[in-house]
Amino acid sequence: MRCIECGARYAAGERIYFCPRCGGLLDVEYERDRAEALKPFSTSFKERPLSVWRYRELLPIGNESRIISLNEGGTGLIRCRNLERELGLREVYCKNEGENPTGSFKDRGMTVGVTKAVELGARTTICASTGNTSSSLAAYSAKAGLECVVLVPAGKIALGKLSQAVIHGAKVIAVRGGFDDCLRLVRELSKDRRFYLLNSINPFRIEGQKTAAFEIYEQLGGVPDNLFIPIGNAGNITAYWKGFKELKELGLTDRLPRFMGVQAEGASPIYRAFIKGSDEVKPFGRVETVATAIRIGNPVNWKRALRSVRETGGRVGAVSDEEILEAQRILASKEGIFAEPASAASIAFLIKAAREKLIDRDSRSVCVITGHGLKDPDVVLRRVRLREVDADVESVLEAIGGVSEKAAVTLR
Ligand SMILES: *Cc1c(COP(=O)(O)O)cnc(C)c1O
Ligand SMILES: [Zn+2]
């Protein structure tokens, strides 16, 4: 592991989350044989299906380790022709991470992170979470036979996510404060060696999450021109950046996608730094957005997020809650994909980018749909009232109020 600040190196078997010398974040580096690293890309899908562990030569896990897996990764890359037509874009795809075992991309990181926890002899895992990290960590810890503790902001976690953490047997602690407070607390607690920390500070989670970039490359037969991705703590954008860079280092591609990161307006410190051209991200003290998974004011991985965007000629955008909810409705009603609000932010930014001509109409875009809409059904049901009718055909027909002869696709 190499410190991203001072460059100091440490063995992957050391149980540290930050550089002991300067407190910087750690990046996993490999001394590997190129032929070995290329093996996953020439192995048939019959022999090794598309999944996180298809890429095991590119993951920092020993051959003898017990792998804790629930069959994560291998998610669909779905062509969105209705969106293409409406937005006047040639190719748009959604990488549907809601298909993962607990319903979000967090499972890619947790299968590697919890496998590492077992390898290191940990007994109890811990994390701070806006929701999906706790769902995922609870499930993988249960599978591994580890105890799990999760800290969540009281009253600010979506119902689906909370129910998962509870049923998988985690000790769920509701903290009076926001995600940033929870993270500060678990960082403090993780100095106690009884707790193994699995937030996206943990470099092994980033390693698991980078496999989504490998999958997109294999599914498309190349890299896309633009990658739209929501940013919360900025672990995932860091992971995709690492994944695409590794493809380049291996000689599988000679270019990287433009990184189009997006935040919710009410929690957009990286966006602010980006538009000011600043190299410092000033944390937001107070954050508010319907997209609870990205309701983060002080993103730990901000430095790598900014670099990924700047080095690929991309952008950081910000979208309002209204734009997020509209994008969620459009994606669900035009493409059949139900995304949670944070995930719909990438679609909201795609719509904005198409309208403002921030991307070329002939380019190929992939939007990362980070989590399933069923995680947070309240956000949809809050806005509708079901009409009840008497149990007869006339009443039902009247309530239907007519059906159109031809199907139309319109974006309002
Ligand atoms: C965790 C999460 C994010 C944000 O990912 P980061 O790595 O924190 O930037 C976005 N969407 C969903 C659904 C998430 O669960
Ligand atoms: Zn350091």
CA of 295 to the centre of ligand 2 (A): 28
Instruction: List the one residue out of 89, 26, 19, 20 whose CA is nearest residue 303.
Output: 26
Which atom of ligand 1 is nearest the CA belonging to 235?
7
In a domain, 197, yes or no: no
What pLDDT is attached to residue 385?
Answer: 86
In a domain, 4, yes or no: no
In a domain, 370, yes or no: yes
In a domain, 288, yes or no: yes
Which atom of ligand 1 is nearest the CA belonging to 340?
13
CA of 294 to the centre of ligand 1 (A): 6
In a domain, 317, yes or no: yes
What pLDDT is attached to residue 406?
Answer: 65
Q: Please, are residues 143 and 245 in contact by the beta-carbon 8 Å criterion?
A: no
**Ligand 1 first shell, C-beta below 6 A:** 104, 106, 132, 200, 230-236, 293-294, 340, 342-343, 370-371
What pLDDT is attached to residue 384?
Answer: 85
Which atom of ligand 1 is nearest the CA belonging to 132?
15
List the residue whose alpha carbon is closest to atom 5 of ligand 1. 232
| pLDDT beyond 80 at 309 | yes
Instruction: Give the number of domains in the chain.
Output: 1
- 68-105 per-position pLDDT tens digit: 999 999 999 999 999 999 999 999 999 999 999 999 99
What pLDDT is attached to residue 412?
Answer: 47
Specify the 3-state DSSP secondary structure of 14.
coil
Phi, psi of 184 (to 5 degrees): -60, -40
What pLDDT is attached to residue 408?
Answer: 56
Range of the domain at 90: 77-103+206-381
- 314-370 per-position pLDDT tens digit: 999 999 999 999 999 999 999 999 999 999 999 999 999 999 999 999 999 999 999
d(CA 46, CA 271): 42
Residue 167: other Cβ atoms inside 10 A: 12
| pLDDT beyond 50 at 181 | yes
Query: Which residue has better confidence, 191 or 68?
Result: 68
In a domain, 188, yes or no: no
Q: Please, are residues 367 and 105 in contact by the beta-carbon 8 Å criterion?
A: no
Name the closest ligand to CA 134: 1
Q: Strand pairing partners for 318?
A: 263
- What's the sign of the alpha-carbon dihedral 156, 162, 163, 169? negative
In a domain, 350, yes or no: yes
d(CA 338, CA 323): 16
d(CA 314, CA 350): 13
Candidates 105, 368, 372: which one to mutate for ligand 1, based on the most atoms within 8 Å of Cβ? 105
E-state strands within 268-334: 315-319
Name the closest ligand to CA 9: 2
Please, what's the largest Cα pairwise distance for the chain? Answer: 75
Rg of the chain (C-alpha set): 21
CATH of the domain at 258: 3.40.50.1100
**Beta-carbon neighbours within 5 Å of ion ligand 2:** 3, 5-6, 8, 19, 21-22, 24
In a domain, 322, yes or no: yes
Alpha helical stretches, state H, 277-392:
302-311, 321-335, 341-355, 378-381
Mean pLDDT to the nearest integer, 370-375? 97
List the residue whose alpha carbon is closest to atom 14 of ligand 1. 293
Mean pLDDT to the nearest integer, 169-188? 94
d(CA 224, CA 339): 21
Mean pLDDT to the nearest integer, 102-122? 97
Mean of all residue pLDDT scores within the chain: 95
Calculate what percentage of the chain has a pLDDT beyond 70.
98
Q: What is the pTM of this model?
A: 0.95
d(CA 51, CA 215): 8
